[in-house]
Amino acid sequence: MQRILARLYAALLLGAMLSTFPAAHAATAAPIASTPADPLADSDGYDLWLRYRPLPVAGRAHLPAAVVTAGADSPTLQAARAELQRGLAGMTGKPVAIGGGARAGSVVLARGADLPSGLAETNAVRDALRPLGSEGYLVRRVHLNGMPVTLIAANADVGLLYGSFAWLRQLQLGTAADGVALASRPQLPLRVLNHWDNLDRTVERGYAGESIWNFWELPGVVDPRYTDYARANASLGINGTVLNNVNAKAEVLSADFIAKAAAVADVLRPYGMRVYLSVRWSTPLELKETKTADPLDPDVAAWWKRKADEIYKTIPDFGGFLVKANSEGQPGPQDYHRNHAEGANMLARALAPHHGIVMWRAFVYASPDEVKAAKAGGPVHDRAGQAYEQFQPLDGKFDDNVLVQVKNGAIDFQPREPAHPLFGAMPKTPLVMEFQITKEYLGYAMHLAYLGTLFEETLRFDTRAGNRDMTVAQVLEGAQAGKVGGIAGVANIGSSRNWTGSTFDQANWYAFGRLAWDQRLDARAIAREWAMQTFAPDARVVDPVADIMMRSREAVVDYMTPLGLHHLMGTGHHHGPAPWVNNLERADWNPAYYHRAGPDGIGFDRGAKGSDVIKQYAPEVARRFADPATTPSEFLLWFHHLPWTYKMPSGRTLWPELIAHYDRGVDEVAAMEASWQRLRPFVDARRFDDTARRLAQQHREAQWWRDACIAYFQHVSGLPLPADVRAPAQSLQYYESLRFPYAPGRG
Ligand code: BDP
């Protein structure tokens, strides 16, 4: 009933809007099928944040009816024009002319070298363009032959495309067309998605259907969806994509597959996106084309050189290789007693003549020798310290076209981790931040967890490298020694109609892209702009949606792994709680290895008396983390093993404090659910219902996490539940008995 009333209200509103619309306009108004004017018309989410819905009449004033380009045409300019046409037509409800001479109010696209004569502000525009580099853009209201026009200018075509998207975004946010003035450039030249997509179209850690890449049908059949993928990425400034899983197969470098990658590259090229491939270290050996995969063997180096030459013949702007080596069973140079730099440099030399790069991942475990030694009773290395141990000594030893790609934290994409110590420890190496957009450890696409706050928290982490302000963002930008890195996000995109499996997961793609462009953006501001474009620029929607998003990730931290706990998830699939697991092949795969809970207390001692990896941080940071009293409570059990009676700043002891966090997490989900219910009148039925069902399931799963973890920690600590605490709904044995053989995303 409420919905029917809401629809009626929306229809009346629309009627009122149309009746104030001048007759001439109404007559020419072309309905745009994909952008229904009724805010409650069902949306399947395909349009993402590029919905271009009709603006209220006042907002349409000064919106151009013509798009004009100066200078030579190009596929990128065509893409920019097409987007402007689509966006303006959607927002005005009127057709938009392309080409012809500029008229008052036109939007004019021009490279700096092709500024039209008759432009009053030529010198000012030239000056403003100078610092904007090859990807930046400028949007200004200027005068052309005495007429006011909107100029989108850039030094290169891709800047014009980015500028067009940025301008359309501002219009969607409700900024008056003649009030938009923008100048922006990215700090990081490398802003890429990493698809963990397999050749059979399964997706490792994918929760949004099959791979978007239909490798089987490529290159013969090229899905038009790839163009929309490119548009969405270009709208954020993402300029590259690694097509396949880091757990790569040798066949990826076969001629057949290269042709498939080339077909995708052809679609993405006009949108400023390059294609990269994940490669398997032992490819030439597995294809039986060399006798070894030793990086110092001349035949191996020659093979990679030939392979690079072959790729560039088909994909002239190929970006380069992403490599997972000596990690989780993947082969690598250590198999031949060579280090990561020796491996990476060999590949880099094959790519260098073509200006390609190697992104070499630092996600590694203890070396095979160390594992052997540990099995024989030697020391087990703390997993949190292993990347640093292997990579830090190699700082300065990588070739110029090698970037080391480091996960945001030292364990593995947990709901919360302190920033990886390598970010403060490799000044002479360009580093790439690797975030995981797909929510492997945060409830898949089922749980609403906005990652903008996680990304922001990591980028703002102050490494204190060199004993000065040095945030992770500054490190990536090369503030220490001029080594400029990049940013990568493990994609959450699949063949689902809505791309990401849930509406709110679209926001994580969006937030990644916006922060890749500008690491200083604010997570809340990003949430708000996403909500305005995705739902409506209406405070009644935007305020509560942004509020839900901003509290969502902390809720997940609380009901899964509060106070610095980590890696308590179910084995393999990582769905649900399993803190009791302690029987896996490697000690450092077991949740029990990480929480170390027992009668004496809980947490991982990473200080001098423990694994001592705290010393991998810069001295100032290490000092802060070394003392529980100065360790932020969100990292407490990450760095310290503390008695259950440890006194927390809240006045409670650790045991009731831990329980309070679990309870708070569940309560927060209940609150998010209730806020969402109040949005029913403002959101279309399809997206509303889908989100409501997911939140209800999230609520049940949060409860399960809370109950299972409390039951387990109570069992190992032997402590009674505090008086006012609700007992877990089921026995510990029940939680331990649950199995999920068909959980998605295992690739
Ligand atoms: C882990 C994932 C695994 C990935 C690995 C990686 O569980 O699927 O292959 O990271 O990043 O988190 O290589």
- Cα 493–Cα 498–Cα 500 angle in degrees, nearest 5: 30
Determine if ligand 1 sits within 6 Å of the CB of residue 360: no
pLDDT score recorded for residue 370 = 75
Mean pLDDT of 319-346: 97
pLDDT score recorded for residue 374 = 76
Q: How far is the CA of 245 from the centre of ligand 1 (A)?
A: 10
Query: Can you name the residues that pair with 204 across neighbouring β-strands?
Result: 746
| Count of alpha carbons within 13 angstroms of residue 342, beta-carbon side | 16
Determine if ligand 1 sits within 6 Å of the CB of residue 247: yes
| Of 247, 279, 328, 435, best ligand 1 pocket probe by most atoms within 8 Å of the beta carbon | 328
Determine if ligand 1 sits within 6 Å of the CB of residue 589: no
pLDDT band, very low/low/confident/very high, at 1 (cuts 50, 70, 90): very low
pLDDT band, very low/low/confident/very high, at 114 (cuts 50, 70, 90): very high
Q: Which of 135, 342, 440, 707 is catalytic?
A: 440
pLDDT score recorded for residue 39 = 64
Q: How far is the CA of 200 from the centre of ligand 1 (A)?
A: 18
- Give the contacts of 550 (CB within 8 A, at least 6 positions apart): 450, 453, 523, 524, 527
Determine if ligand 1 sits within 6 Å of the CB of residue 434: no
Q: Are strands 137-144 and 182-184 parallel, antiparallel or unpaired?
A: antiparallel
pLDDT score recorded for residue 38 = 65
| Angstrom distance (rounded) from CA 70 to CA 144 | 12
Instruction: Name the amino acid, one letter, at 329.
Output: G
| Angstrom distance (rounded) from CA 476 to CA 493 | 25
**Could you identify the atom of ligand 1 that is nearest to the CA of residue 247?**
9
**Could you identify the atom of ligand 1 that is nearest to the CA of residue 330?**
13
Report the percent of the chain where pLDDT is more than 90: 87
pLDDT score recorded for residue 178 = 83
Residue bearing the CA closest to ligand 1, atom 9: 247
Q: Which of 127, 299, 328, 469 is catalytic?
A: 328
Per-residue model confidence as pLDDT tens digits over 687-714: 999 999 999 999 999 999 999 999 999 9
Omega before residue 22 within 30° of 0, cis: no
Query: Can you name the residues that pair with 323 across neighbouring β-strands?
Result: 279, 360
pLDDT over 70 (residue 27): no
- Give the contacts of 730 (CB within 8 A, at least 6 positions apart): 707, 711
Q: Which helix (H) or strand (E) holds 699?
A: helix 685-717
| Angstrom distance (rounded) from CA 239 to CA 598 | 48
| Angstrom distance (rounded) from CA 390 to CA 282 | 20
Q: How far is the CA of 41 from the centre of ligand 1 (A)?
A: 39
Residue 404 phi/psi, 5° resolution?
A: -95, 125
Exposed, middle or buried, 317 (CB in 10 Å: 0-12/13-18/19+)? Answer: middle
Tokens of 410: 């030292």
| Angstrom distance (rounded) from CA 321 to CA 490 | 15
| Angstrom distance (rounded) from CA 594 to CA 600 | 15
Mean pLDDT of 719-733: 97
| Angstrom distance (rounded) from CA 53 to CA 593 | 52
Determine if ligand 1 sits within 6 Å of the CB of residue 412: yes
- Please name the residue ranges forming H helices in 561-651: 591-595, 619-626, 636-639
Instruction: Name the amino acid, one letter, at 601.
Output: G
Closest CA to 468 of 618, 614, 625, 613: 618
Q: How far is the CA of 745 from the centre of ligand 1 (A)?
A: 11
SS3 295: coil
* CA 511 to each of CA 196, 237, 452, 525: distance values in angstroms, whole numbers, following the listed order: 19, 12, 5, 10
Q: Report the largest interatomic distance among the alpha carbons of the chain, rounded to a whole angstrom.
A: 86
Per-residue model confidence as pLDDT tens digits over 368-409: 677 777 777 777 789 999 999 999 999 999 999 999 999 999
DSSP state of 716: H
| Angstrom distance (rounded) from CA 454 to CA 489 | 13
Q: How far is the CA of 505 from the centre of ligand 1 (A)?
A: 19
- pLDDT mean across residues, the chain: 93
Instruction: Name the amino acid, one letter, at 50.
Output: L
Q: How far is the CA of 250 from the centre of ligand 1 (A)?
A: 18
| Count of alpha carbons within 13 angstroms of residue 591, beta-carbon side | 23
The CA-to-CA distance between both ends of the chain, in Å, stands at: 44
For the beta carbon of residue 532, count every other beta carbon within 10 angstroms.
Answer: 21
pLDDT over 50 (residue 33): no
205 versus 97: the higher-pLDDT residue is 205
Tokens of 719: 């402590």
pLDDT score recorded for residue 377 = 74
- Give the contacts of 174 (CB within 8 A, at least 6 positions apart): 55, 59, 532, 537
The answer to whether residues 303 and 290 touch, using CB atoms and an 8 Å cutoff, is: yes
The answer to whether residues 572 and 561 touch, using CB atoms and an 8 Å cutoff, is: no
Question: What does the chain come to in residues?
Answer: 747
| Angstrom distance (rounded) from CA 636 to CA 627 | 9
Is 210 an active-site residue?
no
Determine if ligand 1 sits within 6 Å of the CB of residue 204: yes
Residue bearing the CA closest to ligand 1, atom 12: 412
The answer to whether residues 186 and 166 touch, using CB atoms and an 8 Å cutoff, is: no
Determine if ligand 1 sits within 6 Å of the CB of residue 246: yes
Tokens of 720: 């009674």
For the beta carbon of residue 201, count every other beta carbon within 10 angstroms.
Answer: 18
| Of 245, 278, 363, 442, best ligand 1 pocket probe by most atoms within 8 Å of the beta carbon | 363
Q: How far is the CA of 513 from the centre of ligand 1 (A)?
A: 21
Mean pLDDT of 642-652: 97
Is 440 an active-site residue?
yes
Determine if ligand 1 sits within 6 Å of the CB of residue 363: yes
- Give the contacts of 366 (CB within 8 A, at least 6 positions apart): 374, 380, 381, 383, 386, 588
| Angstrom distance (rounded) from CA 346 to CA 70 | 44
Residue 419 phi/psi, 5° resolution?
A: -60, 150
DSSP state of 4: H
pLDDT score recorded for residue 52 = 96
| Angstrom distance (rounded) from CA 667 to CA 669 | 5
Per-residue model confidence as pLDDT tens digits over 211-255: 999 999 999 999 999 999 999 999 999 999 999 999 999 999 999
Mean pLDDT of 74-90: 96
Determine if ligand 1 sits within 6 Å of the CB of residue 342: no
Q: Which helix (H) or strand (E) holds 534?
A: helix 523-534
Q: Which of 204, 412, 434, 477 is catalytic?
A: 412
The answer to whether residues 118 and 110 touch, using CB atoms and an 8 Å cutoff, is: no
| Angstrom distance (rounded) from CA 687 to CA 569 | 29
**Could you identify the atom of ligand 1 that is nearest to the CA of residue 412?**
12
pLDDT band, very low/low/confident/very high, at 25 (cuts 50, 70, 90): very low
| Angstrom distance (rounded) from CA 441 to CA 414 | 6
Closest CA to 724 of 659, 653, 639, 649: 659
pLDDT over 60 (residue 12): no
- Give the contacts of 99 (CB within 8 A, at least 6 positions apart): 67, 68, 69
Q: How far is the CA of 328 from the centre of ligand 1 (A)?
A: 8
Most confident residue range from 95-99, 352-356, 582-586: 352-356
Q: How far is the CA of 622 from the centre of ligand 1 (A)?
A: 28
**Could you identify the atom of ligand 1 that is nearest to the CA of residue 324?**
13
Residue 21 phi/psi, 5° resolution?
A: -80, 125
Q: Are strands 107-111 and 147-154 parallel, antiparallel or unpaired?
A: parallel
Bin 180: left if φ > 0, else alpha if -120 < ψ < 50, else beta.
beta
Q: Which helix (H) or strand (E) holds 314?
A: helix 298-314
pLDDT score recorded for residue 14 = 37
| Angstrom distance (rounded) from CA 569 to CA 562 | 13
Determine if ligand 1 sits within 6 Å of the CB of residue 322: no
The answer to whether residues 69 and 81 touch, using CB atoms and an 8 Å cutoff, is: yes
Determine if ligand 1 sits within 6 Å of the CB of residue 413: yes
For the beta carbon of residue 204, count every other beta carbon within 10 angstroms.
Answer: 18
What are the start-end ranges of the E strands in 551-708? none
